[in-house]
Structure 1
Amino acid sequence: MPLVSSLMLPLNNAKEQFWNLWLRILNNNLVKSPANRKKTAIPIAVVLASIYFVYRKLILPPPQLHHIPRAGFFQYVTSLFKGRPYDEILKEITDHGLYTAFGSSGWTVYVTRPESAKKLLLKTDLFPKAIMSKAKKETIAGKFLMGPNIIFLPHGPQWKGQRSILNPAFHRSMPIRLFGELAQKLFVEIDKKTDSPIDAFDTMTRWTLDAIGIAGFDFDFNAIQEKDSVWVVRYEKITNASVNPVFMLFPFLDSPYLRFLFPRRARIHHELDLFLDKMQEIITHKRAVLANSNGETTVNKVTNEKDLLTLMLEAAEEESGNKMSDEEIKSNLCGFFIAGHDTTAIALSYAMYNLATHPEVQKKAREEVIKVLGDKPMDVLPTIEQIKEMPYIQMIIKETLRRNTVAQNIVTRAVPEDTDLDGCVIPKGTRVTMDMMGLHRNPKIWKNPDEFDPERFAPGGEAEMAAKKNGMAWMPFSNGARMCIGVNFSLNEQRVFLPMLLRKYELSLPDNSPHKEKPVISGIGLQKPVNLQINFKRRY
């Protein structure tokens, strides 16, 4: 019998569900050796007892939220640990209005209608960014992503100062040539394996990691050619640990005082410290290079394009009286991994899946690409002018981001006073967020929302009508003042990669693929495809 089970006493049904959930969690995270079990028996018992008494009142939402439909605590949390696709959970807990669910921020109200989403995103005085709890600052996700950056800072002078520097930096960052050259580099690796299916998500993860590393701060992870290199493995460990459901739902377990209970977790913290030290080293070097450049521009020697860090530092110099500390720059660079790596890798994986499962769409898209780039048996790097001449590719990207929503929700807002939303009173202190998948799959907005149909985004099509009628019906990058600053960076990655991919390969699913009916997905926060194998047939 596992050690944790031997600590249990008979409980009523509700308590039993709670304890059984924790049994699974702790048994999966503790070191298995008998010696360690014996040493940690008493601390585990104390932790379990503390958890129960702290959280027993949170099994149901606060009384002031009882009037809003909800996902049961155990229904929702257990689904997360089982890795159930979020779209399945969503259908069980909402009629596409407001609903509440227990998440990493506690009980939160989720919005799935465009009218409510518009108010939530545009009224920053009514719905300011929620302040991150002290417990979260000690977690892997907190240390990596939730620092003083424009994603998590509340609306105020510090956020506005950063935005004034980052806006021009991102507008100037157009590494189109770099994206094309990295695509060529990836094709060399794909060509070595075209006799068997290839994991699309793993492939895109490595490609986008090299893209954000070089374009972001001139650091080459070399993930395309060396998937098991030290920095690639380190980064993967950090990102995987940041969405561990145990520590997302109960962040206090990640504190330095309890971390000894989870040795593997402590090792990931060390890996993260090494990663952040490397980021600091790069920032220090960039500042020194700029200080000694005598006004000369510093660009990538291969692509002749400036990296984002250089543009940020230059923009800070141009902003009179508005500087960014190393800590702010480092925090924002970590935040850019969300826009330039994880989300883009997932989006491209889903785009490849949709092309593979809709041969008529793939054929039409390839014809458009060939019309613009030609059909000579050689790689062609599209220019920024040429990617604007491919509207059908753009429609595919938009429909993929709608149908296969990458991010589950936006960073939570906090309600400073009682506020009406969707005809419902949201009490003061409540946390509110937008459920992107709920919005993008809302049948009151979209016809046959579960189907992939790029024609929705044709001129005068369904998406255009929905925007006129409902306002914010399509928002994969959020909207308003807090809209994702990396939107153009991500979209340009996709606009360059997909045309080059379609010229080079024909895509299809293996006959035994479990993704035939719909993509098999999993994940918390970001919805990732699971073992998405795709056939790549060379055209030249």
Structure 2
Amino acid sequence: MIISSSIALLDNKIKEQFWSLCLRAFGKTPNSFPPKKITISIAVAVVSIYAAFRKLTQPPPQLRNLPRPGFLQYVSTILMNKPYDNVLKEVIYPVAFKADHGLYAAFGLFGWSVYITDSVAARKLLTKTDLFPKINIINSQHQHTLFGRFAVGPNIIFLPHGPQWKAQRSVMNPAFNRSMPVRLFGELTQKLFVQLDKTADSSPIDVLDIMNRWTLDAIGIAGFDFDFDAITNKNSEWVTRYHHIMGGSRDALYQLLPFLESPRLRALFPKRNQIHHELDLFLEKMQEIIAHKREILNNNEFATNKKTNEKDLLTLMLEAAKEENGKLTDEEIMANLCGFFLAGHDTTSNAISYALYNLATHPDIQEKARDEANRILGSEPIDVLPTVEQINEMTYTQMIIKETMRVNTIVQNIVSRKVVEDVDIGGFVVPKGAQVTLDIMAIHRNPKIWKNPDEFNPERFEPGGEAEKVTKMGLGWVPFSNGARQCIGKNFSLTEQRVIIPMLLRKYELSLPDDSIHKDKVVISGIGSFSAVNLQIKLKKRY
């Protein structure tokens, strides 16, 4: 009766969406799960889902005077995995551009937020940390979710601005500044070539799969000296376990309704429980690695033949903490290593995949980048491992990378900031207590900021070009955020890209298959972060 009378309050469209969420949660179809057969335990869960669902449909009172997309229209695009670039034009732009401030309100991973689509407003948000501190989600309802247990810990990504964050940053900065494992990235690329040569000239490769494996080995070895061996064995135990965890973390249902993963309700979802068990095993392995590194450090056995810039980040973090007479707890180290995965694996693999797509669809740009690589690394038909000095010379490749990360945005928004006092943003007063974030793709594709924003044009980033003019006005390029909370792994990711892309171009010519679904534009999917769908690219060996 409680459920039936509650649902009767919903109109037909909301009812349909509500039952869709319920059925999805329990892995059922309408015919196999009629409401009259719901058990007491499931009834409690369904009533909870309904209460949360009603809360999602209306923003808090202080945001109701902002334009916002229709809730059902917005959420249905998420549940149906509709490409976000289409959502921008069909759902977001008509709302956001109603006023000059370019603000709109929408429900996201951490609740209702004000979304910014303007570069001047973006600069204010990211540089005024006193007015816009990060929200604290570490002890929120997300702490029991798969995503929360894996990534939302006491790390420099999610810690609010304060002494603990500053102490960690003082240790992380030296570690990341010292870590530039260019040789490792080159050697992993050579290892990748062995696999690519097996099918090059005969059948296309699944680019995202290949890049996921390359970046997983890169972050594993460079991060904490653990070899997933993903390049040569994509079905290995730890590769499979990691992908189960990351795939589960992106599940839209649990992102929208995080309370479903509370210990009290999780037992109702056996498949979800199994992924949590996989995460337990993954975290135990990382804890084992951390303990081993600590033991080595305590025994003063850090002598190594590796140069400082080729040491793994875990080693550098522990050394930096020791140099400063500071201490990072195992919990903090674990949280930061998981944060490196979150910020440095999927994002970089997607960035490289998009770059290869853009090169495959723009042969003239591909040839210009190849000429640069051959000029700096030599045109002899052999693999050459770039040096730090050489990748710094590849200015055109850097332009390609930057333009790729603009036009093919990977992450939708940053962790929301909380407004500590009423503040004017673009002529609109955002009230104290509201959450504010960036719609990064909307900024990167905003025609008020960029000329022909959907066009791939690396020359925007040449000295004195369009990007410099945009920067003088505000922050129109924010794939790594900006300001004090800018992604600490920015240079690490850019270095990975600047090593592998020139090496690939010297070795192969890239093109799309004739039947590619990406002929006109790259087709993407995802919630929160965006990936190309079944991106296949043909490789023709040059040597």
Tell me if the contact between 1:299 and 1:306 (Cα under 8 Å) persists in the aligned partners: no
Cα distance, 1:41 vs structure 2: 3.5
Residue in structure 2 matching 1:444, options 425, 440, 448: 448
Unaligned 5+ runs, structure 2: none
Matches of 1:15 and 1:151, distance apart in 2? 40
Contact 1:69 1:93 survives alignment (8 Å): no
Distance in 1 separating the partners of 2:275 and 2:398 = 39
Q: Which one-letter code corresponds to 1:182 in the other structure? A: L
Q: Is the 8 A contact 1:40 1:261 kept in 2?
A: no
Once the 2 structures are TM-superposed, how far is the Cα of residue 244 of structure 1 from its aligned partner?
Answer: 0.8
Amino acid in structure 2 at the alignment position of 1:497: I
In structure 2, the partner of 1:158 is 164
Give ranges in structure 1 of 5+ residues lacking alignment: 1-6
What is the CA-CA distance between 1:373 and the residue it aligns to? 0.9
1:510-529 matches, within 5 Å, as 510-529=513-532
1:224 paired to 2:220? no
The 3 A distance-change label for structure 1 pair 520 and 9 is: farther
Aligned counterpart for 2:123 among listed residues 118, 122, 136: 118
Structure 1 residue 531 and structure 2 residue 538: aligned? no
Give the distance between the partners of 1:517 and 1:299, measured in 2 at CA: 50
Per the alignment, residue 40 of structure 2 pairs with 42
Which residue number corresponds to residue 257 of structure 2?
A: 250
Q: CA deviation at 1:31?
A: 4.8
Q: Which structure 2 residues correspond to residues 272-283 of structure 1 after superposition, within 5 A?
A: 272-283=279-290
Correspondence for 2:399: 395
The answer as to whether partners of 1:406 and 1:527 remain within 8 angstroms in 2 is: yes
Does structure 2 conserve the Cα–Cα contact (< 8 Å) formed by 1:399 and 1:453?
Answer: yes
Greater shift after overlay, 192-201 or 419-428? 419-428
1:52 CA drift (Å): 2.0
1:255-334 matches, within 5 Å, as 255-294=262-301, 296-298=302-304, 305-320=310-325, 322-334=326-338
Q: Which residue of structure 2 aligns with residue 385 of structure 1?
A: 389
**For 1:278-319, what per-residue CA distance to the aligned partner results, in whole angstroms no more than 9, with x for missing partners?**
11000000011122235x433569x99211000000000011
Conserved? CA contact 1:81–1:245, under 8 Å: yes
Alignment of 1:63-102 (within 5 A): 63-91=61-89, 92-94=91-93, 95-96=96-97, 97-102=102-107
* 1:187 to 1:66, Cα distance in 2 relative to 1, 3 A: same
- Indicate if the aligned counterparts of 2:419 and 2:432 stay in contact, CA closer than 8 A: yes
Q: Distance in 1 between matches of 2:32 and 2:523?
A: 39
Partner of 2:425: 421
Contact 2:360 2:537 in 1 (8 A): yes
Q: Deviations over 1:350-386 (max 9, x none)?
A: 0000000001100111111111111111111111101
Structure 2 distance, partners of 1:75, 1:383, is 50
TM-aligned CA distance change 1:50 to 1:339, over 3 Å? closer
- The yes-or-no answer on 1:458 pairing with 2:462 is yes
Listed as ranges, the matches of 1:202-221 within 5 Å are 202-221=209-228
Letter matched to residue 147 of structure 1: G
TM-score by length of structure 2 reads 0.94
Does 1:105 find its partner at 2:103? no
Q: Secondary structure at the match of 1:511?
A: coil
Q: Whole-Å Cα distance in 2 between the matches of residues 58 and 23 of structure 1?
A: 15
Which residue of the partner structure matches residue 25 of structure 1?
21
Partners in 2 of 1:292 and 1:62 — Cα distance? Answer: 55
C-alpha contact (below 8 Å) 2:180/2:309 kept by paired residues: no
Cα distance in 2 between the residues matched to 1:106 and 1:304: 40
Identical-residue share of aligned pairs (%): 62
Q: Is the CA contact (8 Å cut-off) linking 2:117 and 2:442 kept in structure 1?
A: yes
Aligned to 1:432: 436
Q: Is the 8 A contact 1:419 1:426 kept in 2?
A: yes
Contact 1:339-1:490 at 8 Å conserved across structures: no
- 1:16 equivalent in structure 2: 12
Residues 503/127 of structure 1: CA separation in 2 closer, same or farther (3 Å cut): same
Structure 1 contact 372–389 (Cα < 8 Å) conserved: yes
Distance 1:508 1:9, change over 3 A: farther
Structure 1 residue 358 corresponds to structure 2 residue 357: no
The equivalent of 2:58 in structure 1 is: 60
User: Residue 3 of structure 1 corresponds to which residue in structure 2?
Assistant: none
1:336 equivalent in structure 2: 340
State how far apart, in whole Å, the 2-side matches of 1:48 and 1:11 are. 10
Q: Which amino acid aligns with 1:442?
A: N
What does residue 144 of structure 1 align with? 150
Give the counterpart of 1:128 among 113, 133, 152: 133
> What is the CA-CA distance between 1:40 and the residue it aligns to?
5.6
Deviation at 1:524, TM superposition (A): 1.1
Alpha-carbon separation, structure 2, partners of 1:49 and 1:495: 51
- Equivalent residue, structure 1, for 2:248: 241
RMSD over equivalenced CA pairs, Å: 2.1
Contact persistence 2:154–2:335 (CA under 8 A): yes
Q: State the SS of the aligned residue for 1:324.
A: coil
Distance (whole Å) between structure 2 residues aligned to residue 485 and residue 99 of structure 1: 28
Give the whole-Å Cα distance in 2 for the aligned partners of 1:13 and 1:83. 28
TM-score normalised by the chain length of structure 1: 0.94
On the 8 A contact 1:60/1:72 being kept in 2, the answer is no
For 1:258, what is the secondary structure of its paired residue?
Answer: helix
CA contact (8 A) 1:299 1:307 kept: no
Q: Evaluate the alpha carbon distance shift between residue 11 and residue 501 of structure 1 in structure 2; reply closer, same or farther with a 3 A threshold.
A: same
Instruction: Check whether the contact 1:31–1:263 (CA below 8 A) recurs between aligned residues.
Output: no
Structure 2 contact 52–257 (Cα < 8 Å) conserved: no
Match of 1:368 in 2: 372
Aligned residue type for 2:489: G
